[in-house]
A and B are shown apart, each in its own frame.
Chain A
Amino acid sequence: MKVQKRTGRSRRQPLGKAFRRGLALAAGILAVWLMPCMGQEGPKPDPAGIATGDKTTAVDAGGNAFVVTEPTDKTAPDYAQKKKDFDDYQSQATKEPLAIKLADSVGHVRLATNFAWTLNTGYLVLFMQAGFALLTCGLVRKKNAGHLMMLNFAAYVFAFIAYYAVGYAFQFGAVAVNAAPTNLGGTPTLNHFLLGHGLWGFLGGKAFFMAGPGYDAGSNVLALFEVVFMETAGYIIVGSICERITFWSFLLCELFIGAILYPVFGCWVWGGGWMSQLGNTLGLGHGYVDFAGSTVVHAVGGFCAMALSVVLGPRLGKFGPNGKPRAFPAHNLVYVVIGTFVLLYGWMGFNPGSTLGATDLRISVVAINTNLAAIAGSATAMLFWYWKFGKPDITMACNGMLAGLVAITAPCAFVGPTSAFVIGILAGLVVCLGVLFNDHVTKIDDPCGAISVHGFCGLLGGISLGLFADGTYGAGWNGVGATSYLGQAGRGVTGLLYGDTKQFLVQLMGAAICATWAFGATFIVFKAVNAVKSMRVSKEVEQEGLDVPEFGLLGYPEDAIHATEA
């Protein structure tokens, strides 16, 4: 025995050495790879916020600065003109030094206005958590009310932790490379891609733990505004997986969304990643455009929810033996309607806030478009149900409003009021047909309609931007057509109906990539998790209701007659 053991150990030793060497090598490569992420070279972060905003950020209504920088490339054809402009500026500046000082404070105040706008709209988006909690809780059965509230609450907490640690860095760690948020001072410290570089970036790599380069006033405004967007994707899934998921696996889902699923796609579209630069690299319109997140936020959440619902399977008794869907009516319509209105209110931050600045006066158009789509979606859903089933369904009317909101989120800044209304009508139809489709065809159980509202209508939003964008806004978007577009000065993002086929194609492609990524990545990861340990509660727990087995307290304890001991 002893001999055998010794032989065994001596045999394993070389393997152990190789393993240790491999580990050291991997650690070395990882260190070299991650070094630039920790480095402080380049622009310095400004945690106090006193160096953010000076004369260079004092711009006119069109976003043009009056400060002229010295041209460096002497071989450029327009060098002589640029040099002359610079010399003119220099002579003006020496003549009027007080004007330059004044411009410093104007630039600072402009950024202050934008900071206040972005933070406050971010707080509105934060309040959407309350709306989601009420909506989803009201839509389920009474026996699971406490469970729903805990899911909504824990979603905020755990997804935030994941986003704080790595998610924000993955999504915005390289935003200054191609998509600097100039309204917030440009966040120059977020300038490194972990994967890819230049116009083909795949993953950001600065500001892990929001520290170092992320410890910056401008970066923190962006972080607050973006983390509440990520949270939105985070609890969209609650509406699909509720009434049957265990708490531990739900926490895994939230960590996955906050750290990987949402930030990766978010980097591609909003962090200056490859999809946003397709206009520059492949000549596809303005690249993939999603103003406030129909796809980046809602479709990612919706298709993640779809994948999780497929992995979990339908609730017990949802489909009869012949596959006929059964109804589990909502237990509190008051919550459902209040929750929907809270969401509408929060959306007034979600969409107009996505300009990242109040100095962009398009915010009023965005706000009106958002409301128009919401009422059109709700009216459509109400009337559709009235016509099809004889009675308008309150929960579907609410879903219709949310569907309109989700669909207008991508195009809200680029379309006019008529298009916004039409997009709302389309969304109302899509959500009604989507709910019936999931119930009768795919047999995917979706208690609150999250897949139809956020998934299907999210894709509709991305695609409808490519149809209805009228070219009045977004000149120079994603670095395309700053001086002129489609032969017209000042023309912005343009859709198929206004003459830009390529924009439509890139929107179709982007929406498809979004659905594939969100569904595919979630399905693979959680199919594996589910194979190791079932993510579902036991049959008995599901029948009793998840409140007590999972959390030890009923959502409505007075409903149960219980003995009190003296």
Chain B
Amino acid sequence: MEKHAAWRDFYHGLQAVDNGYHMKKIEAIIQPHKLAEVKEALIGIGVEGMTISEVRGHGRQKGHTEMYRGAEYTVDLLPKVKIEMFVADSRAEQIVEVLSAAARSGKIGDGKIFVSSVEVAVRIRNGDRGENAL
């Protein structure tokens, strides 16, 4: 009982800090050559910030083989781009739709989108919390 109560207090404390706002993290792994199109589409609907990283990986498609000077080699970890965005709950659905439409070519290797809940956001410059920090 004691333990649970302590946890609940802590959790409520955080919610109190965030004034009850709810946020989502949208993670999208896409083909590198689709990045420009996706970025344009997102800015078009008013997305203000995103973080991009170059990553390597594979899903079901498992890579392919190439020849170099007559010897075979396998490219199994393919270059991809990962986009991370933190947005208000209300915007998440629209963003996911626009993003997946822009990144889609219909071929294997187009990538995936993951959405998860975010509890705390802090702006380092001035200590803003919650949606104000986005």
B73 interface contact, C-beta 8 A:
yes
Q: Are A325 and B67 in contact (CB under 8 A)?
A: no
- Say yes or no for B3: interface residue by CB 8 A criterion: no
Q: Smallest distance from the beta carbon of A241 to chain B beta carbons, Å?
A: 17
Is B9 located at the chain interface by the 8 A CB criterion? no
Q: Note all chain A residues with C-beta closer than 8 A to B70.
A: 325, 389, 393, 435-436, 439-440
Q: Are B67 and A396 in contact (CB under 8 A)?
A: no
Chain A residues whose C-beta falls within 8 Å of the C-beta of B72 in the assembled complex: 326-327
Please tell me if B1 contacts chain A, counting CB pairs below 8 Å. Answer: no
Which A373-402 residues have C-beta < 8 A from chain B?
A: 389-391, 393, 395-396
Q: Distance (Å) between the CB of B22 and the closest chain A CB?
A: 34
Could you give, for residues 65-78 of chain B, a 1 whenever the CB lies within 8 Å of some chain A CB and a 0 otherwise?
01111111100000
Q: Which residues of B contact A396 (CB under 8 A)?
A: 69
Which residues in B have their C-beta under 8 angstroms from that of A393? 67-70
Contacting residues, chain B, for A436 (C-beta < 8 A): 70
Q: Which of B66, B69, B70 counts the most A-chain CB atoms under 10 A from its CB?
A: B69
Other-chain contact of B68, A329, A390, A440 (Cβ < 8 Å) = A329
Of all chain A residues, which has the CB nearest B68? Answer: A327
* Minimal beta-carbon separation of A540 from chain B (angstroms): 23
Least CB separation from B75: chain A residue? A329
Counting chain B CB atoms within 10 Å of each CB, which of A326, A327, A330, A390 scores highest?
A327
A435 touching B73, Cβ below 8 Å: no
- Closest-by-CB residue of A relative to B73 is A327
Cβ of A234 < 8 Å from any Cβ of B?
Answer: no
Distance in angstroms from B75 CB to nearest chain A CB is 9
Question: Once the chains are docked, how many angstroms separate the CA of A390 from the CA of B66?
Answer: 11
Bound-state Cα–Cα, A436 to B71, Å: 9
Query: In the assembly, what is the distance between CA of A389 and CA of B71, in Å?
Result: 10
Query: What is the 8 Å Cβ interface bit string for chain B, positions 60-88, against chain A (1 contact, 0 not)?
Result: 00000011111111000000000000000
A272 at the interface (CB under 8 A from B): no
The answer to whether A391 and B71 touch across the interface, beta carbons within 8 angstroms, is: no
User: In the complex, what residues of A have CB within 8 A of residue B73's CB?
Assistant: 326-329
Q: How far is the CA of A104 from the CA of B31 in the complex (A)?
A: 76
A326 touches B71 (CB 8 A): yes
**Other A-B pairs beyond A325-B70, A327-B68, A329-B73, 8, CB < 8 Å:** A325-B71, A328-B73, A390-B67, A391-B67, A393-B70, A435-B70, A436-B70, A449-B69
What 5 A-B pairs come out closest when comparing CB atoms? A327-B68, A327-B73, A327-B71, A325-B71, A329-B68
Please name 21 pairs of A and B residues whose Cβ atoms are closer than 8 Å in the assembled complex, sorted by A: A325-B71, A326-B72, A327-B66, A327-B68, A327-B69, A327-B71, A327-B72, A328-B73, A329-B68, A391-B67, A393-B67, A393-B68, A393-B69, A395-B68, A395-B69, A396-B69, A435-B70, A436-B70, A439-B70, A439-B71, A440-B70
